[in-house]
Structure 1
C-alpha cells in the first residue's frame, strides 16, 4: 500500500501577523505589512524597506536564556513549531521518537547573529583578529544553520531524520517536499517541517542592493512590492517563518487528526543557466510544474488556483508567466493566480512554507487571497493575477511554485483529502 503525505498542523510568524488566525486575516483582507526598516539604521542603503515581524520572544513563551542563546530565525522556528504541533494535536511522549523527523529550510541561516557577533568581536571591523572574549559562547551554532533543525528536534523529541535544507529562496517549499518524501518512503510517520528566516541585517540588504533586485520605493513602503504590475521595480526583503506538520495519511486518520490537505506532487529543477538570471520562457519552472502534476496524476484543467512566486522583479514575473503558459497551455489563461509577497515581502528561505500555509488556508476557507498593489497590469503578464481583492472559489487542488537564485525552481501540488476532518 502506498504511503501518502498530508499536513495536519500549521504555525506561522509573519510580517503583520503572529499566529495562523492573524496570518489568514491579513491575506484574506489583502493588507500589506511592508514598512521602513527599523531593525537598524538603513539610511546608507539604496533600499530601506522590509517586511518586519513584530515579534516579542518573551511574550511568545521563550525564556531569557532562549533569547540569549538562539538566533532570531531559530526563535521563530521554535515558536511557530509549538503552534503547529499544538494545532496538529500531537503528543510526542507517546510516540516512537525514531519515527519523528525534522526538515527545516533556511537560505541564510543565522546571519543576523553572525553579523552582530562579528561586529562586536572585531570592534566594528577594526580588528583583523576577532576577540572571542567579546562574542557569545553560542557562536558555533550560528555558523552551522543545521543547529536550528537540531533545536526543533530537541523541542519535539525527534530522533528520526533531521535535516536542514538550504536551496536559497526555494528552501521553504523544498523542505516540505523533502518531508513528504521521508513519509512516502517510510523513513518517518511524522515530520515537523517548514522554513525560517531572519535576514534583515546590513549585510543582507547591501547584497540585494548590489544586485539591484530590491525596490527603492522608500517613500511608499506599503505599496512597494508590485508583482506583475507594469511599475514594479523589485522585491521587498522580509523575515518570517511557517512550520507545518507533515504526517502519513493513515497515521493521521488513526488518531482522528484534522487534515488541511495532501502533498500530492512535488518536483524541483535547476536551470544551470545563471546565478541570478532567468530565461523569459520559463522552461525550468515549467518542467518542475509538469513533473509535479504527473506525480499528482492531475491535468491542467483541474488546478483551481496557482500561488505564484511573484517576487516583483521584472525578470521573475515574465519568467513565471511564461512557465505557466508553457506547462498549463490554454488553461493558464483561465486559472486564477496570486502572489503573497505583495503583502508580506520576500522572506527568502521561509517564504515557500508561508505560501504553503496560505494555500492550505485558502483551500479550507474557499477564498483566494489577492495580489496586492496590482493597479497597472504589465501587458506581458497577461494572466488572471487576482488584483487587490480576494475572490471566493471552491478549491480542491492548488499549485504553489518557488524560484531562487542559483537557478532553483520548485513546484508543489496540494489537494484536499476526501472525507478528511478539516
Structure 2
C-alpha cells in the first residue's frame, strides 16, 4: 500500500497561447466555435504550426530560455526554497529533445566549415543542465517513448514518490520546432492541409504540430488546498503496427480501463476524459472505438475533451504540456472545451465537450489519454479532493 501521495504543487507552460497563466487561460476561455478559425488563420499566417510568439537569436538560446523560464515558474508556484530544490529528482520527456540545436550546428558547419557538424551526441546534456539549474543532488532521467514520453516520466516520478524513494520531482516536457520532425510527419502524409484542427470530426484531415515547454513539480505533501494528486496510471504496448494503433481500439480501451481499475474507480467517478485526439484518421478511429468500448462496459458516458486544437500536437511533451494546461485552467475555475468539432465520424458515438466546464471548488477526477508511435499507450488519472 502506498505510504505517500504524489501532489502536483507547481505547474508552468510556455506555448503558442503565451507563457503566463493569465494569458494562457484567458485565451483558452475566450476561444469558441465562432472565433476559432479566425484565431488559427492569424496564427498560421506566420508559420504552419502552433509556434511560440517570441523571437530568439538562436535555437540554443530558445531551448535554454524556455527551460529556464518554465522551471523557475513551476518552482515559484510550488514555493520551493533552495534546500527543497536540491531534493528535486529530475525527469525529462520529449521526442525531439535538442534536435533543433544539431540542425543549427550542421547548417552552420555546411555554410562555413567552422565548428562541428553536430555539437551534441545524445541528450544527457539536457539532464546535466537541469541538475545545475536546480542544484539537484539527483541525476536526471530522460524518457523517449514518442508521444507518451513526458506522461510516462510523470507516472514514473509519481510512483517513486508514492513508494518513498524520492520526496520531490521536477518533470519537464519540451518540444521545439525542428525541420527533421516536420519533414517526417509530412512524408507520412499526416499533416493537415486545411490548417484547422478537428479531432473526431468527419472533416478532420490530420495533425498540426505544436511547440511548447512545461514543468511540473511533484511532492509528497500538498502546498495548496486545490492541488491535484496522482491517482493511477496504466501503460500498454499495442503491437498492431509501428505507426498506427489497432483500429478496433481495444489496446487503448484496455489502457483506460486499467487506469480505472488501478485507481479503484468506476467511470461515473471520472469528471472528464482528456483524449489524445491527434486528428489523424487512424487516431480518430481507434480512440473513438476505444471510448465506445469504455462507455459500453461501464454503461455510462463521461465528458470528453481534446486540447490539441489549442496548442497543437506537441509530441513527447504533450503529456506535461496538456496536463499543465489543464491544471492552470482548473486553478482558474474551469476545464477546457473542444474546438473544431462539428459532426463526428461514423465511429464517434459521443460529442466532445463544446463549452468550458465550471469546476471552481469542486472535487475532480480527470483521466488523461496519450497514444504514441510504436504502440506505446498511457492513461493517467489525476484527482483533487
TM-score, length-normalised on structure 1? 0.82
| 2:102 aligns with one of 114, 119, 124 | 114
Task: After TM superposition, list the pairs within 5 Å mapping 1:302-317 onto structure 2.
Answer: 302-317=269-284
Task: After TM superposition, list the pairs within 5 Å mapping 1:348-367 onto structure 2.
Answer: 348-367=315-334
Q: SS at the partner of 1:350?
A: helix
Q: SS at the partner of 2:173?
A: strand
Q: 1:96 to 1:135 in 2, by over 3 A?
A: closer
Q: SS at the partner of 2:111?
A: coil
Q: SS at the partner of 2:67?
A: helix
More displaced, 323-332 or 153-162?
323-332
Q: Is the 8 A contact 1:50 1:238 kept in 2?
A: yes
Q: SS at the partner of 2:374?
A: coil
**Partner residue in 2 for 1:174:** 152
Q: Provide runs of 4+ in structure 1 moved above 6 Å.
A: none
Q: Is the 8 A contact 1:8 1:257 kept in 2?
A: yes
Task: After TM superposition, list the pairs within 5 Å mapping 1:89-128 onto structure 2.
Answer: 89-91=79-81, 93-95=82-84, 97=86, 99-123=87-111
Q: Is the 8 A contact 1:324 1:332 kept in 2?
A: no
**How far apart are 1:380 and its partner, in Å?**
1.9
The alignment status of 1:244 with 2:216, answered yes or no, reads yes
**How far apart are 1:96 and its partner, in Å?**
8.0
TM-score, length-normalised on structure 2? 0.90
Q: Is the 8 A contact 2:266 2:298 kept in 1?
A: no
Q: 1:364 to 1:297 in 2, by over 3 A?
A: farther
**How far apart are 1:333 and its partner, in Å?**
5.7
**Partner residue in 1 for 2:173:** 195
**Partner residue in 2 for 1:88:** 78
The alignment status of 1:51 with 2:50, answered yes or no, reads yes
**How far apart are 1:153 and its partner, in Å?**
2.1
Task: Measure the CA separation in 2 of the matches of 1:69 and 1:275.
Answer: 30
Q: SS at the partner of 1:169?
A: coil
The alignment status of 1:134 with 2:115, answered yes or no, reads yes
**How far apart are 1:362 and its partner, in Å?**
4.4
**How far apart are 1:365 and its partner, in Å?**
4.2
**Partner residue in 2 for 1:14:** 15
**How far apart are 1:149 and its partner, in Å?**
2.6
**How far apart are 1:77 and its partner, in Å?**
2.2
Q: Is the 8 A contact 1:168 1:349 kept in 2?
A: yes
**Partner residue in 2 for 1:61:** none
The alignment status of 1:228 with 2:200, answered yes or no, reads yes
Q: CA RMSD in A?
A: 2.4
Q: Deviations over 1:40-74 (max 9, x none)?
A: xxxxxxxxx200011356xxxxxxxxx76946344
**Partner residue in 2 for 1:208:** 185
**Partner residue in 2 for 1:415:** 383
Q: 1:36 to 1:414 in 2, by over 3 A?
A: same
**Partner residue in 2 for 1:274:** 241
The alignment status of 1:341 with 2:340, answered yes or no, reads no
Q: Gaps (5+ residues) in structure 1?
A: 40-48, 58-66, 125-130
**How far apart are 1:2 and its partner, in Å?**
1.2
Task: Measure the CA separation in 2 of the matches of 1:95 and 1:52.
Answer: 33
| 1:153 aligns with one of 124, 131, 145 | 131
**How far apart are 1:225 and its partner, in Å?**
0.9
**Partner residue in 2 for 1:327:** 294
**How far apart are 1:384 and its partner, in Å?**
2.8
**How far apart are 1:237 and its partner, in Å?**
0.7
Task: Measure the CA separation in 2 of the matches of 1:359 and 1:69.
Answer: 28
Task: Measure the CA separation in 2 of the matches of 1:246 and 1:368.
Answer: 21
